[in-house]
A and B are shown apart, each in its own frame.
Chain A
Amino acid sequence: MPPVEDLRYNPPSWSVILGLRAYEAMDMPDFGKAFEEVRRRLWNSLRDLFPIIAVVAFFQVVVFQQPLQNFGQILIGIVLVAVGLTLFVFGLEVGLFPLGEEMAYAFAKKSVLSWLVLFAFALGFGTTFAEPALIAVAGKAGELAAAEMDPLAQEEYQRDYSFALRATVATAVGSALVLGVFRILLGLPLHLIIVAGYILVMLLTPWAPPSIVAVAYDSGGVTTSTITVPLTTALGVGLASSIRGRSPLLDGFGLIALASLIPILFVLVFGIVWT
């Protein structure tokens, strides 16, 4: 493995962010600063949510000319969404990002390639196989594939198909993360792999059964969930900043791109093999 050095960004701890332990010398926590910080973060979340609230309200009132019903329920929902987003972002900064980067650094320092490869695969496979969006899409795809069969065999076929499809996509995401980790270690340019992947997708598409093609293209998008994205991003950036000569911006990003491309290829091949 390439030489290791620690260039990671060191985030402040959560109590420092909130001002509850701003200075070592201070014995009283600064509740004023904490309140100010919480207010600022909540406000940011509300600002992020404003466009979608505005769009839905506009269409309901102006286009459909219907009153907003269940106003109380909507208000509670908006408050929950804002609080949730705020907590999530805070948790990212103090929890998920440092965790991903620290693990990347520890693996780089250990310099045992096989463990790092296994970790990347397990993370990709484990998070994708249980992904609710993927389960929904695989279920629909199974329905589509079994649509023209006789009703007796349909249910079992559909279940087998959905399961095999989920396993295929999960294996694809695991392989994508392994490929991405190798890319970071070797410093290969990402665009070569992506362009090669696109050309392969275009070559494979005419051979795949038409019913699977749209499923394959969609499967790339549903694999990257809200928790997987920050963790893999931190992993990639952490790995790129732990290895001498790698740029976090050029080499650290790209894991998610591979995790959305490789499943398309795998599902196309799955479609060709299955029939």
Chain B
Amino acid sequence: MILLEQLFWTFLSTLRDVAPILLVIGFFQAVVLRQRISNWRQVAVGVGCVILGLTAFLVGLELALFPLGNAMAEQLADPRFVLGSDAENLMAAPTPWYRFYWTYIFAFAIGFSATIAEPALLAVAIKAHEVSGGTLKVWPLRAVVALGAGIGVTLGTFRIVTGIPLTYFIFAGYILIIIQTLFAPKQIVPLAYDSGGVTTSTITVPLVAAMGLGLATQIPGRSPLAEGFGMIALTVLFPMMTVMGYAQIAAWWQSRTRNKKAELDS
């Protein structure tokens, strides 16, 4: 019964989120374009599926994943967990950053696996596959983006633990991306840029935010309000680098095998 109630309320809130989009599209269809969508029945079925699917997805996350994931993210930052049984003695001195290794491992694992399950990324990967005529495969692209997200979340936790200013990471990341853009294959660049923003959606944002908040609350000298920000920014940054890097390696590998073949032929 509670489940049904939850489904109903989530359905309403999803509907509310979709309403502005449907209003904008409806207005422009009716007033500006003034033509019926060619197979509107099918589109209606599709949009209905999207809304119902998102509802079930969100309720399911709320039931199965978020309570455990959020509790874990907070627990991992607890000094008693990080330092073990002699926490009381060690609390006096600041905890060295490497003692948080379980936090880093968890950050990477959750960043990677949440991104694999992210529906928005799946949507972009499907489109890229379709547009590239099948040369860009759905799975490698998602895995590479997820790798970048994992690195980003890990660095985000590292930053909160050490207290290094966020700007250093962001500026370094921007400069690296600019350099990579010069050398990456031109075809991949727009997709790589897109893959950053796509990573942070339904699953990743709540989990990553919980982790940032938990860490900033537990570590002495960090204000949860100020230090909680920045995790998402880093999660957006790194997929761009990994996607361009992946394309660079793939291009290099291709030219190498081609050269070898040419050598063998001559």
Which A residues form the contact surface with B (CB < 8 A)?
Answer: 9, 13-14, 48-49, 51-56, 58-60, 63-64, 73-99, 102-103, 106-107, 110, 112, 115, 119, 122-123, 126-127, 129-133, 136-137, 140-141, 143-144, 147, 190-191, 194-195, 198, 201-202, 205, 211, 213-215, 217-218, 220-231, 233-234, 237, 248-257, 259-260
Contact = CB atoms under 8 A, between A and B. Distances in A.
Contacts of A132: 13, 17
Given A130-B16, A233-B124, A256 B194 contact: yes
Interface of B: 3, 13, 16-21, 23-25, 27-29, 32-33, 35, 37-39, 42-65, 68-69, 72, 75, 102, 106, 109-110, 112-114, 116-117, 119-120, 122-124, 126-128, 130-132, 166-167, 170-171, 174, 177-178, 181, 186-187, 189-191, 193-194, 196-203, 205, 209, 225-226, 228-233, 235-236
Contacts of B51: 91
B46 A226 contact: no
A99 to B, nearest CB: 5
Top 6 A-B pairs ranked by shortest CB distance? A95-B46, A77-B64, A91-B49, A87-B53, A84-B57, A77-B63
B117 A63 contact: no
Given A14-B45, A119-B32, A143-B225, A190 B68 contact: no
B18 A126 contact: no
A52 B72 contact: no
6 contacts: A48-B122, A80-B64, A99-B25, A119-B24, A126-B24, A215-B229
B196 to A, nearest CB: 6
Nearest to B201: A226
Nearest to A205: B167
A191 B229 CA distance: 27
Given A14-B45, A52-B116, 11 more contacts: A14-B46, A55-B109, A92-B46, A95-B50, A97-B127, A130-B17, A198-B174, A213-B166, A221-B197, A226-B202, A237-B127
A91 B47 contact: yes
Contacts, number: 337
A213 B166 CA distance: 9
B119 A88 contact: yes
B57 A85 contact: yes
B204 to A, nearest CB: 9
Contacts of A195: 178, 181
Contacts of A107: 33
A129 B55 CA distance: 20
B246 to A, nearest CB: 15
Q: Which residue, B17, B45, B57, has most C-beta atoms of chain A within 10 A?
A: B57
**Chain B interface SS verdict (over half):** helix
A59 B74 CA distance: 13
Nearest to A15: B42
A39 to B, nearest CB: 17
B39 A59 contact: no
A214 B229 contact: yes
A65 to B, nearest CB: 11
A254 to B, nearest CB: 4
A13 B47 CA distance: 13
A46 to B, nearest CB: 10
A198 B178 contact: yes
B61 A92 contact: no
Contacts of B228: 140
Contacts of A14: 42, 45-46
B229 A202 contact: no
A255 B209 CA distance: 25
A88 B64 contact: no
B54 to A, nearest CB: 6
Given A13-B42, A51-B116, A227 B21 contact: yes
A220 B44 CA distance: 31
Nearest to B108: A55
Nearest to B13: A132
B232 to A, nearest CB: 4
Given A14-B45, A102-B38, A81 B229 contact: no
A90 B48 CA distance: 10
Nearest to B61: A81
A259 B197 CA distance: 8
Nearest to B28: A119
A172 B191 CA distance: 21
A160 B87 CA distance: 44
A233 B119 CA distance: 13
Contacts of A123: 21, 24-25
